[in-house]
Amino acid sequence: MKCPLMSVKLAGVAVALSGLVLAAPAADVPAGEATKHEMEGLTQIHYTAVEVFVGRSGFGFERMPPPPLVSIVKPKSLAEKKPEGKDAEEKLPKREVKHAGLEKLAAPLTRGRFLTADKTEQWVVRELLLIGLDKHPEPVVYLVDPAAEEEGPAKGRDAKTKKKEVKTRKLDAFESESVKVIQGGGELQAERKGKAMRAVAAIYAGEFCLKCHEHEGQMLGAFAYRLERVALKPEERGK
C-alpha cells in the first residue's frame, strides 16, 4: 500500500518561502561548522517545523492522535533513550489532525529564529524545503509555486486526480552529502558561510507510522533550511 506520508501529500506541504532572499556570501568566505549554540538553535527550529508539519498538514492521517515528536526527529536508537528534561516526554499538542493548505503551514515556519550567542544578532529562517526519499528513484527537493496556491485550489492540479503537481529538483552538493551522513547514522547537518547558514535534518518513521511504513526508524525525508544572520532591532534587544 502506498503511504500518503511522503508522496503527494508530503509534496503538497513542502514550504518555499517566497519574497525572502538571502544575502549572497562572499565568494572567498570558506564554509565552516556551526557552533554548539547554533546547532541547539537549529535543532529547536527543526522540532518546531516538524510539529507544525505533523499537526497542520495531516501527516497522512486524519482524526487520529499525533505521534510522539521525538520518534520522528531522531533515529530510533536515539529516540529510545530516556534523557532527562523536556525531550523525554515531549509530545505534540492533543488536537485533531486535519489537512491544511500551504498558506496555513508557512506562516509559523517563517518565524523560525534564534539569537546568536552574544545576543546582538539573530539567525532567521529564510527558506524551508522538503527533501523526499521514497517517491522517486533518487532523493529530490520539492518546490512550491506560491502563485499557484494563491490563484485557487484547482491551479496546478490534474482535472481527474485533483493532485497537486509539485516541481522537484535534484539535491545540491551540501544536501546530498548531508542526507548520506544522516542515513549513515548522523544527526542534523549544518554549515555556516559568512552571514548565511544551511542545515538538513531528518524526518523518521516513529512507532505510530508503522501503519504505512514497514520499518520503525526508517528515514522518510528531511527538511532543508537556509538561514540568514541579521541584526536585532533596538526594541528586540534584552528580550
Reported as a single tens digit per residue, the pLDDT across 157-189 is: 444 445 567 789 999 999 999 999 999 989 999
CA atoms of 109 and 14, how far apart (whole Å): 11
* DSSP annotation of 82: -
What does residue 217 show for φ and ψ, rounded to 5 degrees? Answer: 90, -5
**Distant-in-sequence, close-in-space partners of 109: CB < 8 Å, separation ≥ 6:** 15, 17, 48, 49, 52, 125, 128
pTM of the predicted model over 0.85: no
Averaged pLDDT for residues 7-15:
37
Averaged pLDDT for residues 102-122:
71
Is the predicted pLDDT of residue 126 greater than 60, yes or no? yes
CA atoms of 80 and 70, how far apart (whole Å): 9
CB atoms within 10 A of CB 190: 22
Q: DSSP secondary structure string, 98-148?
A: ----HHHHHHHHTT-EEE-TTSSEEEEEEEEEEEE-SSSSS-EEE---HHH
Condensed to tens digits (0 to 9), the pLDDT of residues 30-74 reads 789 999 999 999 999 998 888 777 665 444 434 334 444 444 555
pLDDT interval class at 136 (50, 70, 90): confident
Averaged pLDDT for residues 190-214:
77
* DSSP 3-state percent helix, strand, coil across the chain (nearest 5): 30, 20, 50
